[in-house]
Chains A and B, each alone.
Chain A
Amino acid sequence: MTVRQISVFIENKPGNMVKITDALGNAGVDIRAMSLADTQDFGILRLIVDDTDRAKKALKDAGCITSITDVIVAELPDVPGAMTKTVRLLAEHGINIEYIYAFISQEKNKKAYIVFRIKDTENASKVLTDEGIVLAGEGVI
Chain B
Amino acid sequence: MKAPKTHNILSPEYECMSRDAIRQLQGERLRKVVKREYDNVPIYRERMDAKGIKPEDIKGVEDLRYLPFTNKTDLRDEFPFGLLAAPKSEIVRIQGSSGTTGKPIVSGYTQNDVDVWTEMVARALVAAGGTKEDIVQVCYGYGLFTGGLGAHQGATKIGAMTVPMSSGNTQRQIMMMKELGSTMLCCTPSYATYLGETIRDMGIDPKKELKLKSGCFGAEPWSEEMRGKIEELLDIDACDIYGLTEIAGPGVAFECLEKKGMHINEDHVIPEIIDPVTEEQLPYGTAGELVFTTITKEGMPMLRYRTHDICVINAEPCACGRTTVRMGRITGRTDDMMVIRGVNVFPSQIESVIVSVKGVAPFYMIIVDRVNYTDTLEIQVELDGENFSDTVSDLEKIRNEIAEKIKSVVGISAKITLVNAKSLPRSEGKAKRVIDNRKI
Residues of A within 8 A of B (CB): 7, 9, 11, 37-39, 41-42, 44, 46, 63-67, 69, 98-99, 117
Q: Given A9-B383, A65-B383, A65-B385: A44 and B392 within 8 A (CB)?
A: yes
Q: Given A41-B417, A41-B418, A42-B418: A66 and B388 within 8 A (CB)?
A: yes
Contact B391 A65 (CB under 8 A): no
Q: How far is the CB of A123 from chain B (nearest CB, A)?
A: 19
Contact A64 B392 (CB under 8 A): no
Residue of A nearest to B382 (CB): A65
Contact A69 B390 (CB under 8 A): yes
Q: How far is the CB of B401 from chain A (nearest CB, A)?
A: 15
Q: Which residues of B contact A64 (CB under 8 A)?
A: 420
Contact A9 B396 (CB under 8 A): no
* Docked complex Cα distance between A139 and B417 (Å): 37
Contact A7 B390 (CB under 8 A): yes
Q: How far is the CB of A6 from chain B (nearest CB, A)?
A: 9
Name the 3 nearest CB pairs between A and B, nearest first: A7-B390, A65-B385, A67-B388
Residue of B nearest to A5 (CB): B390
* B408 located at the interface, meaning its Cβ lies under 8 Å from any Cβ of chain A in the complex: no
Q: Which residues of B contact A46 (CB under 8 A)?
A: 390
Interface residues of B in 358-414 (CB under 8 A from A): 383, 385, 388-392, 395-396
* Docked complex Cα distance between A69 and B388 (Å): 11
Contact B388 A65 (CB under 8 A): yes
Q: A9-B383, A9-B395, A9-B420 are in contact. List 12 more A-B contacts (CB 8 A).
A: A11-B419, A11-B423, A38-B392, A42-B395, A42-B418, A44-B395, A63-B421, A63-B423, A64-B420, A67-B390, A98-B391, A99-B391
Supply 9 A–B pairs (Cβ within 8 Å), ascending by A: A11-B417, A37-B391, A37-B392, A39-B396, A44-B390, A46-B390, A65-B383, A65-B385, A117-B391
Q: Which residues of A contact B421 (CB under 8 A)?
A: 63, 65
Contact residue among A9, A11, A39 (Cβ-Cβ distance under 8 Å from B388)? A9
* B422 located at the interface, meaning its Cβ lies under 8 Å from any Cβ of chain A in the complex: yes
Measured as residues with beta carbon below 8 angstroms from the partner, the interface class of chain B is: 10 to 19
Q: How far is the CB of A15 from chain B (nearest CB, A)?
A: 13
* Docked complex Cα distance between A44 and B389 (Å): 10
Contact residue among A38, A63, A67 (Cβ-Cβ distance under 8 Å from B389)? A67
* Docked complex Cα distance between A117 and B417 (Å): 26
Q: How far is the CB of A43 from chain B (nearest CB, A)?
A: 8
**Among the interface residues B383, B391, B396, B420, which one has the most CB atoms of the partner chain A within 10 A?**
B420
Q: Given A65-B385, A65-B388, A67-B388: A11 and B420 within 8 A (CB)?
A: yes
**Among the interface residues A39, A42, A44, A65, which one has the most CB atoms of the partner chain B within 10 A?**
A65
Q: How far is the CB of A42 from chain B (nearest CB, A)?
A: 6
* Docked complex Cα distance between A42 and B390 (Å): 12
Contact residue among B389, B390, B392, B420 (Cβ-Cβ distance under 8 Å from A39)? B392
* Docked complex Cα distance between A59 and B438 (Å): 36
* Docked complex Cα distance between A9 and B387 (Å): 12
Q: Which residues of B contact A41 (CB under 8 A)?
A: 417-418
* Docked complex Cα distance between A7 and B385 (Å): 12
* Docked complex Cα distance between A47 and B162 (Å): 51
Q: How far is the CB of B410 from chain A (nearest CB, A)?
A: 20
* Docked complex Cα distance between A7 and B423 (Å): 18
Q: How far is the CB of B382 from chain A (nearest CB, A)?
A: 9
Q: Which residues of B contact A38 (CB under 8 A)?
A: 392
Q: How far is the CB of A16 from chain B (nearest CB, A)?
A: 9
Q: Which residues of A contact B419 (CB under 8 A)?
A: 11
Residue of A nearest to B392 (CB): A37
Query: Per-residue 0/1 for B187-231: is the Cβ within 8 Å of any A Cβ (1 yes, 0 no)?
Result: 000000000000000000000000000000000000000000000
Q: Which residues of B contact A99 (CB under 8 A)?
A: 391
Contact A44 B420 (CB under 8 A): no
Q: Which residues of A contact B391 (CB under 8 A)?
A: 37, 44, 98-99, 117
* Docked complex Cα distance between A3 and B384 (Å): 25
Contact B420 A65 (CB under 8 A): yes
Residue of B nearest to A8 (CB): B390
Residue of A nearest to B396 (CB): A39
* Docked complex Cα distance between A99 and B392 (Å): 10
Interface residues of B in 15-51 (CB under 8 A from A): none
Q: Which residues of B contact A37 (CB under 8 A)?
A: 391-392
Residue of B nearest to A6 (CB): B390
Residue of B nearest to A12 (CB): B417
Q: Which residues of A contact B423 (CB under 8 A)?
A: 11, 63
* Docked complex Cα distance between A136 and B391 (Å): 23
Interface residues of B in 267-306 (CB under 8 A from A): none
